[in-house]
A and B are shown apart, each in its own frame.
Chain A
Amino acid sequence: MTDVLTPVLTDNWDAERSWTLASYESRGGYAALDKAFGMAPDAIIDAVKESGLRGRGGAGFPTGMKWGFIPQDNPKPKYLVVNADESEPGTCKDIPLMMASPHTLVEGVIISSYAIRATKAFIYIRGEVLHVIRRVQRAVQEAYLAGHLGTNIHGSGYDLDIVVHAGAGAYICGEETALLEGLEGRRGQPRLRPPFPAVAGLYASPTVINNVESIASVPSIIANGHSWFASMGTEKSKGVGIFSLSGHVKRPGQYEAPLGITLRTLIDLAGGIREGHELKFWTPGGSSTPLLTAEHLDVPLDFEGVGAAGSMLGTRALQIFDDTTCVVRATLRWTEFYKHESCGKCTPCREGTWWLVQVLAALEKGQGTEADLDLLLDQCDNILGRSFCALADGAVSPVASSIQFFRDEYVAHLTHGGCPFDPAAATVFAPAGATA
């Protein structure tokens, strides 16, 4: 029986100066690299396939299969691009990983690049996290000086360069083709697919784009074996993942566990919902995944379980809201975010998110009629699946799911002539015992 929490990626975060090469190597860091160099690149791809690792950036696509799509007979250079643009509301796992242990990522980049036969890799980090960028810059510099990067790495004959690239503020660049646009010095607007990045990505060359946590998982898979990784998790959702609890729990934070753990267990570990309150709604994987409620506490948090409950595992960004929180306010704020971050390329998203905000803002003030809820759902229907990328799909998630579960609360805004909640009661600095 696997333990409830299984620190792998987080295991060295409490080490003294964990971000340094010396600390990382003292715990066996960069040993997986030698093991990898003893394997054929295709054998590494097979190992990652066998491990069952699925993309940790939200979509859950099998990582090894993604690597296998790179056409090795294509004469163009191959590229690895790490998506470190962590911006999905609620998601806060990659940032602490890169701050505490950037070498885990760097080692993962080297092994992954070797597997797909790339000699140049990019780590695209959102610009708004200065100290994280410093730590990754330093880790790459240290890795060069130690011979883990550059030419003839560890005497293997393999060469790799890594460029650390800071973004400049755009949620949309977490979308892989928009990220490539940003990395090519353009406005971050998603590309039409096909062609897919594996065939024509960065500079129209074969490109793998993976999330930070996916790439950081690779050294442990190579070091410990694919069956070790696959021994954790559930049948189709293998391995461990970092679960990020935030909001109205007593101990918000990062909990690394096998996929399939439940929110009930996680909330118990987090000391429960804050005193005197109860769980009202939560996001399983960021604001782009439909809201769930207390009736979903026992849903296994794996790709299949959350999917069956009508939402998505996403990035395991568990934002927890208690009974002091107005779901209409929460939904309006998320919708304003999507409106702000819509890149403007596709009309249903650009215009649709604007209209959602108009209707929601009126409802939040107690204006409008119940028929506006149907109007909102109709707008959702006209947005969902009608744009190049998943931003638009994400935008409708909180709207549709909040109406599904909390229709009465919307109506209460109309009968009450405004929001019936006291926002002060929901804050962390609310006086004890404050109620909505």
Chain B
Amino acid sequence: MTLSTETYGELQEIAARYPEPRSGLLPMLHLVQSVEGRITPEGIEACAELLGITAAEVSGVATFYTMYKRRPVGDYHVGVCTNTLCAVMGGDAIFERLKDHLGVGNDETTEDGKITLEHVECNAACDYAPVMMVNWEFMDNMTPETAMQIIDDLRTGKEVRSTRGPRVVTWREAERVLAGFPDDLADEGPSAGPASLVGLGIARERGWTAPASEQSGGSGRTADTKEEAVEQADTSRAESETKQVDDGTGSDK
């Protein structure tokens, strides 16, 4: 089945956001997933045709990034963080329990097409460990029991809300937002979860603040020269960045 004219139009709209259309490819593939439920050969062809590149080039990109799925994804993609910190804090136990409960393995979908279960890498919410993502919304401070309850609610069609976000939309709807077509949910949910505010709360209690403007303190004594910067840089990455002082003209050394 080919994509609709409307989808073609939106794919073109994405490409037009960028100085060079190919930059739109990642969001375009998100849009393909939102209409097709996965990356389909038709979606790949459409992107290739619109960008004037080969289907092989588009496939190469689609297979590189983990959020792109070649098999149909359920209405709800459930990602359990099993990177070290979450795993230790209980993510491994949660993932095992959900696999048992749903009767699926990693990256598999339940027969009713509702839930796709996957273990995911660090999702930048370690202060809320163990973390589970539902359609890439945060479900903070999970236990095996609360995670199972969420799954059951999703399967029975009850409304599920993110602990730091809105009611959970479907995976396809989420993919549309990632393609750069916002829904109207930005104002839902809190500013921050409790852990994000812990330090601020302590500062408020104790009356701690940053100094007032332009307090004396002199200028920064960070590197003024490339040699000093190299000396100060504490990773090889910073060091290699530093070398551009020498290589700034682009000439080979």
Q: Which residue of B lies closest to A430 (CB)?
A: B90
Residue in A170, A385, A423 whose beta carbon sits within 8 Å of that of B236 in the complex: A385
Task: Assess whether B20 is in contact with A5, with CB atoms less than 8 Å apart.
Answer: no
Task: Assess whether B237 is in contact with A165, with CB atoms less than 8 Å apart.
Answer: no
Bound complex: CA A54 to CA B64 (Å): 32
A416 within 8 A of B: no
> Shortest beta-carbon distance, A211 to chain B, in Å?
12
Bound complex: CA A55 to CA B240 (Å): 14
Q: Given A66-B241, A99-B191, A164-B180, is A170 in contact with B66 using a C-beta cutoff of 8 Å?
A: yes
Q: Given A13-B200, A128-B133, A188-B65, is A390 in contact with B236 using a C-beta cutoff of 8 Å?
A: yes
Question: Can you list, as one digit per residue, whether each of B47-60 has a CB less than 8 Å from chain A (1) or not (0)?
Answer: 00001000000001
> Shortest beta-carbon distance, B45 to chain A, in Å?
16
Bound complex: CA A197 to CA B121 (Å): 28
B17 within 8 A of A: yes
Task: Assess whether B237 is in contact with A92, with CB atoms less than 8 Å apart.
Answer: no
Q: Given A99-B192, A254-B198, is A87 in contact with B122 using a C-beta cutoff of 8 Å?
A: yes
Task: Assess whether B242 is in contact with A61, with CB atoms less than 8 Å apart.
Answer: yes
Question: Can you list, as one digit per residue, whether each of A119-149 has a CB less than 8 Å from chain B (1) or not (0)?
Answer: 0100000111111011101100100000000
Task: Assess whether B196 is in contact with A96, with CB atoms less than 8 Å apart.
Answer: yes
Bound complex: CA A173 to CA B90 (Å): 28
> Shortest beta-carbon distance, A376 to chain B, in Å?
17
Task: Assess whether B219 is in contact with A247, with CB atoms less than 8 Å apart.
Answer: no
B154 within 8 A of A: no
B2-10, B100-108, B226-234 - interface stretch? B226-234
Q: Given A59-B238, A166-B178, A194-B244, is A247 in contact with B126 using a C-beta cutoff of 8 Å?
A: yes
> Shortest beta-carbon distance, A327 to chain B, in Å?
10
Bound complex: CA A45 to CA B239 (Å): 21
Q: Return chain A residues, CB-CB under 8 Å to B206.
A: 3-5
Query: Which of B29, B219, B253 has its CB near the most chain A CB atoms (within 10 A)?
Result: B219
> Shortest beta-carbon distance, B91 to chain A, in Å?
9
Task: Assess whether A247 is in contact with B191, with CB atoms less than 8 Å apart.
Answer: no
Q: Return chain B residues, CB-CB under 8 Å to A247.
A: 85, 88-89, 126, 129
Task: Assess whether A333 is in contact with B126, with CB atoms less than 8 Å apart.
Answer: no
Task: Assess whether A240 is in contact with B210, with CB atoms less than 8 Å apart.
Answer: yes
B235 within 8 A of A: yes
> Shortest beta-carbon distance, B40 to chain A, in Å?
16
A159 within 8 A of B: no
Q: Which residue of A lies closest to B146 (CB)?
A: A429
Residue in A16, A127, A252 whose beta carbon sits within 8 Å of that of B127 in the complex: A252
Q: Which residue of B lies closest to A130 (CB)?
A: B136
Task: Assess whether B137 is in contact with A130, with CB atoms less than 8 Å apart.
Answer: yes
A114 within 8 A of B: no
Task: Assess whether A337 is in contact with B121, with CB atoms less than 8 Å apart.
Answer: yes
Bound complex: CA A126 to CA B208 (Å): 33
Task: Assess whether B125 is in contact with A92, with CB atoms less than 8 Å apart.
Answer: yes
A150-158, A218-226, A358-366 - interface stretch? A218-226
Task: Assess whether A17 is in contact with B198, with CB atoms less than 8 Å apart.
Answer: no
Task: Assess whether A333 is in contact with B83, with CB atoms less than 8 Å apart.
Answer: yes
Task: Assess whether B192 is in contact with A62, with CB atoms less than 8 Å apart.
Answer: no
> Shortest beta-carbon distance, A83 to chain B, in Å?
12
Task: Assess whether A167 is in contact with B65, with CB atoms less than 8 Å apart.
Answer: yes
Residue in A14, A92, A235, A428 whose beta carbon sits within 8 Å of that of B191 in the complex: A14
Bound complex: CA A353 to CA B172 (Å): 34
Query: Which of A14, A92, A247, A248 has its CB near the most chain B CB atoms (within 10 A)?
Result: A92
Q: Return chain B residues, CB-CB under 8 Å to A226.
A: 219-220
Question: Can you list, as one digit per residue, whether each of B158-190 has a CB less than 8 Å from chain A (1) or not (0)?
Answer: 000010111000000010011110110111010
Q: Given A3-B209, A128-B133, is A199 in contact with B84 using a C-beta cutoff of 8 Å?
A: no
17 further A-B contacts with Cβ under 8 Å, apart from A60-B232, A185-B61, are A6-B211, A55-B238, A99-B192, A130-B136, A131-B164, A166-B30, A166-B180, A169-B67, A194-B244, A225-B214, A231-B215, A238-B222, A244-B127, A252-B198, A330-B84, A333-B87, A427-B88
Complex A-B, nearest 7 residue pairs according to Cβ-Cβ distance, in ascending order: A52-B220, A231-B217, A253-B198, A185-B25, A255-B199, A246-B126, A169-B66
Q: 10 A-B contacts, Cβ less than 8 Å apart? A: A6-B208, A59-B233, A59-B237, A131-B162, A166-B30, A167-B26, A193-B240, A227-B217, A236-B223, A333-B84
